Amino acid sequence: MKTFFNAKEDIVSDAIDGLILSRGGELRRFDHASHARVVVRADWDKSKVAIISGGGSGHEPAHAGLVGAGLLTAAVCGEIYASPSVDAVLSAILEVSGPKGCLLIIKNYTGDRLNFGLAAEKAKALGHTVEMVIVGDDIAIPNAKQPRGLAGTVFVHKVAGQLSEEGADLTTILDAAKSVSDGLHTIGVARDTCTVPGSEKQGRIRDVEAEIGLGIHGEAGVEVKNFGTAKELMEDLAPRLLATLDTSMRHVALFNDLKGLSGLEVSVLFKEFMTSDLAAVTAFTMGPAPIVTALDMPGFSISMLPLKPEYEAALFAPIVNDAWPKLQPSHAPETITPPTIATTQDFIPSQDADVRAVIETIIATCLSAEGRLNALDAKVGDGDTGTTFAGAARTIQSKLDALPMADGAQLFAMLSDIKSKLMGGSSGVLFAILFANASTAYKTDADWSSSLTAGLDAMMKYGGAKVGDRTMIDAMQPGLAALVAGEGMLAAASAARIGADGTAMMLSANAGRSAYLEARSLDGYADPGAEGIAMIFEALTHH
C-alpha cells in the first residue's frame, strides 16, 4: 500500500510539525535536534498539576492532538507503534512539572509501563512529585490479567485535564483518574489489520471476516468471525460489553472510529449501536469520531463509562479542541413526514396500439442491452449505464397499462414524472427534463419527433452537454434531426449509429463521468449512453 511520507525515519517528526502548524500557536515541541518528540502547551506555566500522556505514534489525533487546555499538558510521541524512550518521557516531566506535581496517564502496554514507569522513578529521584495511572479498558479477552489500553483512555485525559485546569491538587486528580480508569469498558472490532508505513499489511483476516478484540496496533484479537450484516456484528458485540456494565447506572459511550472505515459504514454501525441493547444504559454519546485511531485499520471501538459524581462535572466541562468529540445526550432518531408533492395533473390511462408497440420495443431493447452497456461503461465510467437504462425500462414496463398512450402531451408528462421520481441519478433528471419539455411542445404541435427535439434542447440547456461532448446527445440529436427532416426511421437509425460510433474516436469528454478520464482510457470505446440510444433507434426500424 502506498503512503504519503518523506523519509520513514522522519514521519513522526514531520507529522508533529504539521499538527503544530495547524493549531495556530497553541502548541510547541522540543527542537528537532532532540531525540525526544514532545509536544507541550504553549501557555503552560507550571502553576498547576501537569498531565502527561503518550505512547507510540499512529493513533492520531491521540496523543499530541489532545494537548491543550482542559486536556493534556504534554504528549510524548514514540515511533509508530513503539513506546517513547525513558529519556524522552523524563524530559517531558522535567519540562512541565511544577510544585504541584505531575500525573502520567498511559495505556496498558509493556513498553509504556516500563518506559514511563522508569522515567517517573527518575523524576522522583530528582525531587519531582509524579503519579501514574495505567488504563486497561479492553474487555474482549475474558479474565485477561493485563487488559490492553484502548480508546477509553481519553476519558481519563479529559477528567484529569479539566481538574488540573480548575486547580485541583494531585491527590484529587489521581483519585478521579483512577475512578474513571477502573470503570472503563471497551471492545473493538475490525475487518482488516492496519498498514504501517513502509511495511506490508498483515493478511490474517479474510475478506468475509471481522476480528473481535484486535488491538490498536494490529495485535490479534479474541475471535475471527464471519458477519453478514452490521446488525449481526452489533448483536454479537453488545452482549459482550453489556455483561461487564452496571446496568443500574447511566453511562457515556464513546464510538471511536479507527479511521479505515468509510463515513457511510461508520454511520450505519453507529445506528446499530444506538438501536442495540446498549442504548438502554447509554445516557450520553461521543462520536462517531476518530480520536484514538490505528492508522488505516477499518474498524471501530465502543467505550462505556459509568457516570459518577467524583468526575462527571469534569467530564462534561466544555473545552476548545477540534479533536475532542461533542458530548451529547442520547436520543431516539426523529423523523418527519415530507411534504406531499402533487403531480401537475391526473393521468388518465388510454391505449394506442402503435404507441404501445414503440414503448415495448424500447423497453425490450434496454433490458437486453443491460450487460453490454454495463461492460462498455466499465471501460469509461462506473459500469452502471446498462443497469440505469434497464431499471428505467422495468419501471415503465410495470406501468404500461396506466400510461395515457392516446394523449402525447399526457404521456410525455407522465414519463417525466416517473423518471424524476424513480430513475435516479443524473440520467433520470435529464430524461425528466426532456419529457417535461416534450409534453409542453406537443400541446402546441402534436408531432412526436419535433416535441422530442424540443425536449432534447432543454436537456442540453440544463445538462450542459452538446453534440461533440461524448454523451448520449451525440446519437440522439442526429437521430431526431433525421426524423424531423422526414427522412424516416432507417435514416434516423443510421445517423444515430454514426453519432454513437463517432464517440469512440473522441479522446476527450466535456460532460458526464468520462470528462474525468484521460485520452487513453477513452480511445476506441463508444460512450455507453450514446450506444444505448443508437440501439433503440435501430430496434425501432423493425417496428
Measured distance CA(447)–CA(487) in Å, rounded = 15
Annotation marks residue 251 as catalytic: no
Catalytic residue, from 63, 157, 185, 217: name it.
217
Q: Please say whether the beta carbons of 46 and 98 come within 8 A.
A: yes
Measured distance CA(156)–CA(182) in Å, rounded = 10
Measured distance CA(81)–CA(12) in Å, rounded = 11
Residue 325, preceding peptide bond in cis (omega within 30° of 0): no
Q: Which string of b and e fits 379-407 if b means at least 16 CB within 10 Å?
A: ebbeebbbebbbbbbebbeeeeeebbbeb
Measured distance CA(478)–CA(466) in Å, rounded = 12
Question: DSSP label at 82?
Answer: S
Q: What are the grid coordinates assigned to 398, written together?
A: 410495470
Q: What are the grid coordinates assigned to 216, written together?
A: 490498536
3-state secondary structure of 435: helix
Torsion sign, CA atoms 36, 41, 44, 50: negative
Q: Please say whether the beta carbons of 528 and 385 come within 8 A.
A: yes
Measured distance CA(58)–CA(41) in Å, rounded = 21
Give the H/E segment covering residue 116: helix 110-125
Around 392, how many Cα atoms within 13 Å sit in the side-chain half-sphere?
28
Phi, psi of 38 (to 5 degrees): -120, 130
Q: What are the grid coordinates assigned to 298, written together?
A: 477499518
- Number of Cβ within 10 Å of residue 344's Cβ equals 11
Which amino acid, residue 468? G
Around 533, how many Cα atoms within 13 Å sit in the side-chain half-sphere?
28
Q: What are the grid coordinates assigned to 142, written together?
A: 475474558
- Number of Cβ within 10 Å of residue 110's Cβ equals 9
Which amino acid, residue 64? A
- Number of Cβ within 10 Å of residue 298's Cβ equals 20
Which active-site residues does the annotation give? 217
